[in-house]
């Protein structure tokens, strides 16, 4: 289900969805601009959506490239795009979720600087949308543990999304 601009985000990030997936959150982030450059806030221990610290890493992605699909069984990930622009797509396949079957598209960049909190159990991936690349910061609640990560191929029919058509599969 993808549709109008999401009203729950109050215009934060460019979220294209009727309903935010249960447990997902989009939080506005602060930028401090001054003559010497810009500081990009991401996550503080005092933020209401902060759970715990596991690790931080940065991922670059080239225009048109898709990094998908993955699902963390235990880890909550917190994504912010600090350079360039990405399209982040999430899919809820959780049996007990009120939003089972819902897809969300969120566009992230420094221009609409926000944090997307992705709870365990959601399929997600992102696509580079800018030249020469985009850089995504991820603050995860646990250090990397490949045993809790599931992966699907980009075109797997289990997720009703077509990256080349920019939307749900028919």
Q: What is the pLDDT of residues 132-162, one digit of tens each?
A: 999 999 999 999 999 999 999 999 999 999 9
| CATH number of this structure's domain 7-157 | 2.60.120.10
Give the 3-state DSSP-derived string for the chain, with helices as H, strands as E and coil as C. Answer: CCCCECHHHCCCCEEECCCCCCCCEEEECCEEEECCEEEECCCCCCCCCCCCCCEEEEEEECECCEEEEEEECCCCEEEEEEECCEEEEEEECCCCCCCCCCEEEEEECHHHCEEEEECCCEEEEEEECCCCCEEEEEEECCCCCHHHEEECCCCCCCCCEEHHHCEECC
Tell me the per-residue pLDDT of 20-49, one tens digit each, with 9 for 90 and over.
999 999 999 999 999 999 999 999 999 999
**6: pLDDT strictly greater than 50:** no
CA dist., res. 132 & res. 30, Å (int):
24
Cα–Cα distance, 70 to 88 (Å, whole number): 12
How far lies 162's CA from each of 77, 116, 126, 153, in Å? Answer: 23, 21, 12, 12
- Rounded distance between C-alpha atoms, residue 16 and residue 37, angstroms: 31
* Cα–Cα dist 69/154, whole Å: 6
pLDDT tens figures, 44-97: 999 999 999 999 999 999 999 999 999 999 999 999 999 999 999 999 999 999
Distance between CA atoms of residues 20 and 114, nearest Å = 15
């Amino acid at each position: 289900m993808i549709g109008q601009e999401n009203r729950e985000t109050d215009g934060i990030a460019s979220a294209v969805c009727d309903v935010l997936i249960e447990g997902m959150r989009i939080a506005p982030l602060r930028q401090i601009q001054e003559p010497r450059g810009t500081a990009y806030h991401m996550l503080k221990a005092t933020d209401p959506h902060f759970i715990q610290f596991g690790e931080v890493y940065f991922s670059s992605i080239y225009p048109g490239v898709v990094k998908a699909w993955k699902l963390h069984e235990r880890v909550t990930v917190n994504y912010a795009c600090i350079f360039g622009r990405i399209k982040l797509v999430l899919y809820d396949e959780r049996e007990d979720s009120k939003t089972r079957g819902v897809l969300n598209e969120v566009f992230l960049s420094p221009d609409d600087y926000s944090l997307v909190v992705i709870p365990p159990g959601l399929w997600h991936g992102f696509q580079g949308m800018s030249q020469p690349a985009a850089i995504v910061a991820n603050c995860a609640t646990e250090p990397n543990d490949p045993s809790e990560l599931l992966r699907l191929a980009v075109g797997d029919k289990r997720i009703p999304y077509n990256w080349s058509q920019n939307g749900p599969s028919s």
